[in-house]
Amino acid sequence: MRALITGIAGFVGRHLAEHLLDQPDYEVVGSVFFPEELAHPLASKGATLERVDLTDEAEVLRLLRDTQPDAIYHLAAQAFVPLSFDNPWATLSNNIHSQLNLLHGIVKLDLDTRILVVGSGEEYGVIRPEETPVNEDQPLRPASPYSVSKVTQDMLGLQYYLSHDVAAIRVRPFNQIGPGQSPDFVAPAFAQQIASIEKGIQEPVLRVGNLEARRDFTDARDMVRAYRLLLKHGIPGEVYNAGSGSAHSIQEILDTLLHLTDASVEVRFDPARARPVDVPLIVCDITKLRAATGWRPMISFEQSLADVLADQRSRIGLSAAH
């Protein structure tokens, strides 16, 4: 089984590659964008890395022609929601164009491959309290340029299945956490600040946005198992939610991380960290995913956060068990 992972050097891509390399009979090829990513540690673990601009149709055709993948996991995307508000077109152009080039390339080269189209729980957007837990029939109300880009990727996967019989399986993952995630996201943002306070390179003030929002968090190491199982067992053309099926508040993330440090920390609200639109509660219904794959998360919320803090400590030279 030759698997192509776009965005392999990213947070989820790295975890997916490591998971697939641990499986029997998997050959992993990954696309990267920056030249320095060709030296990513995954290369020494058995992955083949190719530098590709996914918005360039000719480069994507070359990648598909050369690799002839049995399975494609399309993870490459601009995934930071606040950035999509600052520069909407860059997010829309990047995410939609890359997806379209891959789907069109599969058709043009007549490839017999299954592709996982990775959307987002953000596609559901503004969710009313009575609509939780969210199932796949929930209306889409995207509330950011990022979520609009993901709705488009999702629908392109459906369209290419209906128009060209491309074996596209669509997934809408909800919030992911785990070691290796960028501090642009809430859990590592808190953990980075705590680690910096512990080392004495930041004043003992932790800046936060809205702490009341409750989200469905899943460890990325669990999520990539769901991706593998979905691409193997999912029905082409269908869409599946992926998440833990439970919700935790941002306050819970903060409290759990603060419990893991001996540092004295003052928590201070920072308006710059608040989103223009912030839905109070989002939790997904994963009945369809479980029925198709038998998957369920294995890593606890608390363990995920402990690993996130250990990762941030290691990045600034502190021991994981500081």
199 & 227 share domain: no
3-state secondary structure of 19: helix
Residue 35 belongs to domain spanning: 2-177+217-242
Q: Are residues 211 and 222 in the same domain?
A: no
Residue 279 has a pLDDT of: 76
Q: Can you give the CATH number for the domain in which 228 is found?
A: 3.40.50.720
> What per-residue confidence (pLDDT) applies to 320?
60
- Identify which of 156, 140, 173, 130 has the alpha carbon closest to the alpha carbon of residue 286: 173
Residues 92 and 217: their CA atoms lie apart, in Å, by: 25
Please indicate, yes or no, if residue 288 is contained in any of the structural domains. Answer: no
One-letter amino acid identity for 175? N
Same domain, 194 and 130: no
pTM of the model: 0.94
| Domain count of the fold of the chain | 2
Which tokens hold the place of 249? 């508040």
Specify the pLDDT at position 19: 98
pLDDT score, position 321: 61
Residues 236 and 252 in one domain: no
Residue 180 tokens, joined: 């290796």
* Chain centre distance of CA 159: 23
Q: 34 with 162, same domain?
A: yes
Q: Distance between CA atoms of 243 and 285, rounded to whole angstroms?
A: 8
* Statement to judge: residues 134 and 208 lie in one domain: no
Q: What is the pLDDT of residue 273?
A: 77
Q: Are residues 58 and 135 in the same domain?
A: yes
Residue 289 inside a domain? The answer is no
> Are 52 and 76 contained in the same domain?
yes
Pairing of strands 2-6, 248-249: unpaired
In a domain, 290, yes or no: no
Q: What is the DSSP letter of 139?
A: P
Q: Are 250 and 161 in the same domain? A: no
Residues in a beta bridge with 4: 29, 72
Say how far apart CA 9 and CA 38 lie, in whole Å.
Answer: 9
pLDDT in tens, the chain (322 residues): 999 999 999 999 999 999 999 999 999 999 999 999 999 999 999 999 999 999 999 999 999 999 999 999 999 999 888 899 999 999 999 999 999 999 999 999 999 999 999 999 999 998 988 999 999 999 999 999 999 999 999 999 999 999 999 999 999 999 999 999 999 999 999 999 999 999 999 999 999 998 999 999 999 999 999 999 999 999 999 999 999 999 999 999 999 999 999 999 999 998 887 766 567 888 999 999 999 999 999 999 999 999 999 999 999 988 766 6
Dihedral over alpha carbons 270, 212, 185, 74 (to 10 degrees): -150
Nearest to 67 by CA among 142, 3, 135: 3
Q: Is residue 292 part of a domain?
A: no
